[in-house]
Structure 1
Amino acid sequence: MDDTDVMMLRRAMDRTTDELPPLPDLTPVAVRLGRKRRARARIATVGGVFGTVTAATLGFSLLSGGDPGGAAPAAPPAVFPSAYHTPVQIRPSPGQTAPEKLPEGERTRREQFQQQVSALLDELLPASVTDIRPVAGEVSDYRITVDGTAFPVKLSIRPAEGERLQGCLNSPQKKTTCEVVGLEGNRTAQVWAMPVNKTETRGAMVVTAYGRSHVLFSVGPSENVSAPVTPAQLLAVVRDQRFTELLHYADEYPVQRKGEPVKGG
């Protein structure tokens, strides 16, 4: 892993839960695939988010670097219906730049993508995760809740055509481990576990490539509590076909610009 990936992980995890608003009361409300699902914060079902929505209807604009006269990006794939996941509002840190101003159609498309990611993580992460929410205005940032504690999640899918994954090196002195595993489609992934912020608090991360994109998926600690999701559990999400479908969409219609810095990571 190169310095860029290390920096992304550490920055993604350096915000504490003091910045988060109070979480709503959670109650068990759903059974999916014949088994009781975890308690969730269910607010209201938004059919338009997960239905078949045409780009022409929403007037989506192309990301920079595209042909302004070409076809507009499609709506994110509906991996399955789900209730609306209320976004988390986080106060900007001192000196942090304001969120990028986007055309209404593009902002809506990114919000739809975050809702699809939230729904998928809600389904695939361990049952101990009782809430998953996107961070408003930050397409790669999410928050999960386990035992009443919130933890940062990063899913960065950035255009990086021709970029290779960096070395996967274990560092016993730094208590860092990395394993290269195979994925379908002759792809590989690097599965990382490492201390974050403190030697006692550990984070988990999977780094891979899909098409023309670099993919980083991580869960970080919350102050003195290590990440509640293991590297193996992250890898199980990455191997799910529905996760691959979302990667395919984000590779075809990027939700991050090429070379765009990822706020918080």
Structure 2
Amino acid sequence: MYVFMDTAPGDGPGRDDDELLVRTAMERATDGAPPLPDLVPGARAEGRRRRVRARAAVGATALAIVGLGLFGAALPVWGGDGEPARGWSAASQTSPVPTPTSAPVPVRAPVHVEPSPGESSMADLPERESSRQRGFQNEAAAVLESLLPEALGPVRPVDIAVNRYQGGADGGPAFPLSFSVRPLATGKAARADRACLDVAVKHLRCDEVSLPGGMMAQAITAAGNAEGGKTVTSVTVRFTYGHSRVTLAVGGDTDAMVSAPVTADDLLVVARDARFMELVAYADARPMEAREGSVRGG
């Protein structure tokens, strides 16, 4: 199965855990030798940086090779409390327990994005938590790439936030991806789910779709940023799982005026896959994002 570090940030593993982390890292090294999310600002910012991304990717690759042990160590088989890191029961979930898998996942060089003034990034997290989130991102990028159309590949993590990814080959259009499992707001901050509405004048279409386990999702297609006779289209699937709101979204490249090379149906294929739902279940049980109603870095 996909396995991630589940001890609280700052809790150090015992000696046996350290030995297992090292062994796991060595094995991986040898094997692998809301409204709609606003994707436009991120796409524009990443577009402005595409001219320097090739150099950034080279540097990130070197860092990834040096830090292979760190990434591998983020995915131990056992948690610090001596229990399996992933042990959910069917009775505690709103969908069936995902099918475990065990294939090793090579480390992917992340796309580097400099935070804006006053904005935080994963680099500001404690080392143990940063390692956990990077390990999760690496697993998620591999799952997304395997399930989404080839035109979106390769899929790489973006190092500024655990919910940020990028699709598309170097030198081509850059497609921003968001895979968010965000804890729901509670108490007075809690809000009802947004209505699923079609808005023709805004080129917005929303469909209510069923997922395994009786969950309902909203599959949304939106078009905007018309320029020169072209319109950039983005797609989103969102639903509630456990105590979290799950959002999977792919935007277009607004600099190149290229729409997302996927459809809402493509995202539903991902949402119905056990590998994706295993990632969702882990992130719901061990959150990595701020609760709804709070501002990251604020």
Which interval holds the TM-score relative to the shorter structure? 0.7 to 0.9
Larger Rg over CA atoms: 2
| 47-56 vs 229-238, which moves further | 47-56
Distance 2:147 2:121 in 1: 29
Q: How far, CA to CA, are the matches of 1:7 and 1:108 in structure 2?
A: 26
Taking the TM superposition and a 5 Å limit, the aligned residue runs for 1:239-254 are 239-254=272-287
- Structure 2 residue 158 is the aligned partner of structure 1 residue 135: yes
2:238 touches 2:247 (CA, 8 Å); kept in 1?
yes
RMSD: 3.3
Matched-pair contact (CA < 8 Å) for 2:204–2:222: yes
Q: Distance in 1 between matches of 2:284 and 2:199?
A: 32
Alignment check: 8 A CA contact 2:198 2:205 kept? yes
Deviation at 1:109, TM superposition (A): 0.7
Judging changes above 3 Å, is the alpha-carbon distance between structure 1 residues 6 and 198 closer, same or farther for their aligned structure 2 residues? farther
Cα distance in 2 between the residues matched to 1:9 and 1:79 = 33
What residue number does 2:120 align with?
98
The aligned length equals: 231
The 10-residue stretch of structure 1 (161-170 or 246-255) with the greater mean CA deviation from structure 2 = 161-170
- By percentage of residues, which structure has more strand? 1
1:201 match: secondary structure? strand
TM-score by length of 1: 0.75
Confirm whether residue 115 of structure 1 aligns to residue 138 of structure 2: yes
Looking at structure 2, the residues matched to 159 and 202 of structure 1 have their Cα atoms a distance apart, in angstroms, of: 28
Q: Secondary structure at the match of 1:15?
A: helix
* Pair 1:208-2:239 in alignment: yes
SS at match of 2:217: strand
Task: Give 1:261's aligned residue.
Answer: 295
**Percent sequence identity over matched residues?**
31
SS in 2 for 1:225: coil
Shift of 1:11: 4.6
Match in the other structure for 2:49: 19
- Please, which of 51, 56, 76 is the counterpart of residue 52 of structure 1? 76
Query: What is the CA-CA distance between 1:169 and the residue it aligns to?
Result: 0.1
Change beyond 3 A, Cα 1:165–1:71: farther
Distance in 2, Cα, partners of 1:185 & 1:14: 37
Cα distance, 1:148 vs structure 2: 2.2
- 2:91 paired residue number: none
Instruction: In structure 2, give the amino acid aligned to 1:174.
Output: K
* Matched AA of 1:261: V
In structure 2, runs of 5+ residues without a counterpart are 1-33, 56-60, 88-99
Structure 1: state its 5+ residue gaps: 25-40, 57-69
CA distance in 2, matches of 1:246, 1:158: 13
SS in 1 for 2:223: strand
Structure 2 letter corresponding to 1:122: E
Counterpart of 2:215, as a letter, is R
Give the deviation of 1:7 after TM superposition.
Answer: 5.1
TM-score w.r.t. length of structure 2:
0.67
Task: Between 245-254 and 99-108, report the one with greater CA deviation.
Answer: 99-108
- Cα distance in 2 for partners of 1:73, 1:196 equals 46
**Whole-angstrom CA distance in 2 between matches of 1:213 and 1:79:** 25
| Maintained 8 Å contact 1:213/1:251 | yes
For structure 1, which segment, 133-142 or 251-260, has the greater mean C-alpha deviation from structure 2 after superposition?
A: 251-260
CA offsets 1:62-96 (integer angstroms, 9 cap, x no match): xxxxxxxx999948986632211111111234x45
- CA 1:177 to 1:14, structure 2 compared with 1: closer, same or farther past 3 Å? farther
The 5-angstrom pairing of residues 151-166 of structure 1 reads 151-160=175-184, 163-166=191-194
The Cα of 1:19 is off from its aligned counterpart by 1.9
Q: Secondary structure at the match of 2:53?
A: coil
Q: 1:109-156: CA deviations, max 9, x gaps?
A: 111110110110121111223311111131000000058221100111
Structure 1 residue 230 displacement after superposition? 1.1
